[in-house]
Amino acid sequence: MKKRGLIAALILACLALSGCGSESSGKSFDQGLQVTATTSQIADAAEKIGGTHVKVTSLMGPGVDPHLYKASQGDTRKLTSADVVLYSGLHLEGKMEDILRKIGEQKQAAAVAEAIPKSKLISAGKGKMYDPHVWFSIPLWIYAIDEIEEQFSKAMPEHADDFKKNAKEYKDNLQNLDKWARQEIANIPEKSRVLVTAHDAFAYFGKEYGFKVEGLQGLSTDSDYGLRDVQDLVELLAEKQIKAVFVESSVSEKSINAVVEGAKEKGHSVSIGGQLYSDAMGEKGTKEGTYEGMFRHNINTITEALK
């Protein structure tokens, strides 16, 4: 806690020295709009929408768990030097939330997932908290894309038409991806549409595409799981005769391996159906390093294992 407070104070001090962001410093955008995004999903959308007018830096790379990510002193430069900061919100960046809110008081910053109407969000069952894993529903993720376009147009109104055009092309591609996903999922028998993963990151995916979703841990990987949680999942797998469970790129395989072993002891054979990208995407420069490639990988992995 003391470290988080120290980093927050350092960030605020840097902001004060740099003129509190682009609007107050009168900074020119000759080198393009400098954008810092927390997650790779947001960074991918920002690059597609901003085009040649923006330069995007992502704080969290492949295999990074945003629930547990802590801002380092090195992140202060990326945040304070940005003209625009984009983050998910909805408590996804749990360890960074205070810092990101303070950044928003000093310069242009937006929690893009919080642009989604509250009525469309899934409650986390704790006060006004919501499940933050919204990017697994393409129709919901489009709200975030619109928010990014709005932020860029606010920062560079002279290029608003370009941002609008790029955003439309990106959304058209994602809507086609959504149609393809539904066609592929139709190949899985309805009784087999049960998705078991390490933590509860796929609720929006399940709601959108007709899956029963079970995660051993809660919405955050910071949650603990016990023997009772493992036993409950094992019983579900045996009852539904589910033959595959999935590991996640940003979560340890230990918890899912416990489920596989538990099922084996009950006489029900379950295999690892493959690795899904949940809170992080793949390596930059690969297909899975883009939102579309990550989404296609997940759909292909799920359908191949369950159909």
Angle, alpha carbons 127-129-135 (nearest 5°): 160
- Within this chain, domains 2-179 and 186-306 share the same CATH topology: yes
Angle, alpha carbons 208-304-180 (nearest 5°): 45
Q: What is the pLDDT of residue 272?
A: 87
Mean pLDDT, residues 91-96 taken together: 86
pLDDT, mean over the chain: 85
Mean pLDDT, residues 155-183 taken together: 98
Q: How far is CA 83 from CA 57, 104, 138, 139, in A?
A: 11, 11, 27, 28
Q: Using one digit for the tens of pLDDT, what is the confidence trace for 6-28?
A: 445 555 555 444 444 444 333 45
Q: What is the pLDDT of residue 23?
A: 42
Residue 225: pLDDT over 90: no
Higher pLDDT, 217 or 93: 93
Which fold is adopted by the domain 186-306? Rossmann fold (3.40.50)
Q: Using one digit for the tens of pLDDT, what is the confidence trace for 112-130?
A: 999 999 999 999 876 678 9
> Residue 111: enclosing H or E segment and its boundaries?
strand 109-111
pTM for the whole thing? Answer: 0.84
The Cα 33–Cα 31 span in angstroms is 7
Which fold is adopted by the domain 2-179? Rossmann fold (3.40.50)
Residue among 101, 135, 159, 100 at smallest CA distance from 280: 135
Q: What is the pLDDT of residue 219?
A: 47
Q: Where are the domains of the chain?
A: 2-179, 186-306
Amino acid at 285: G
For residue 297, give both structure tokens: 């990988």
